[in-house]
Amino acid sequence: MKDVKKHIEVVAAVIRDEDGKILATQRGYGAMKDGWEFPGGKMEPGETPQEALQREISEELAVTIEVDEFLCTVHYNYPEFYLTMHCYWCHVVQGAVKLLEHEAARWLTMDQLNTVDWLPADQEVIERMM
């Protein structure tokens, strides 16, 4: 019998500041430690994607965000699992970014997005933004 990969569905925040810079965060844990990503995480039962994003970003970065609009959904087949990632444009409405789970963060202009080593699914989001 063929092994069926685990399917993971997550939400991700593409956070823009008032100057149009985009927040990139570097994973501080897990199999993909050190890879750069858009912050976010799994939805809890009964949560909308927007509610999940607000909760996850509060837990990971200690800020309150507003979810502005849907950007895209990316499907990516990693070796260990299959990922569905729903991405939304967001902005911070309260607080300053504090790294609670990530090891680094950078605010990047569109021209600087390729200066970090993005995880493959997040790289697909960037391609759709261009």
State pLDDT tens for residues 24-33: 999 988 889 9
pTM confidence score? 0.93
Q: Which of 88, 122, 111, 98 is nearest to 16 (CA)?
A: 88
114-128 tens-digit pLDDT: 999 999 999 999 999
DSSP assignment, residue 1? -
Q: What average pLDDT does the segment 5-17 reach?
A: 96
Band (pLDDT 50/70/90 cuts) for residue 111 is very high
**pLDDT (average), residues 60-70:** 98
Q: Decide yes or no: CATH 3.30.530.20 for domain 6-129.
A: no
> 5 versus 76: which is more confidently predicted?
76
Alpha-carbon gap, residue 72 to 86, rounded angstroms: 6
Backbone phi and psi for residue 56, each to the nearest 5 degrees, phi listed first = -60, -45
Please say whether the beta carbons of 37 and 118 come within 8 A.
yes
**Domain boundaries along the sequence of the chain:** 6-129
- Cα–Cα distance for residue pair 108/36, rounded to 1 Å: 12
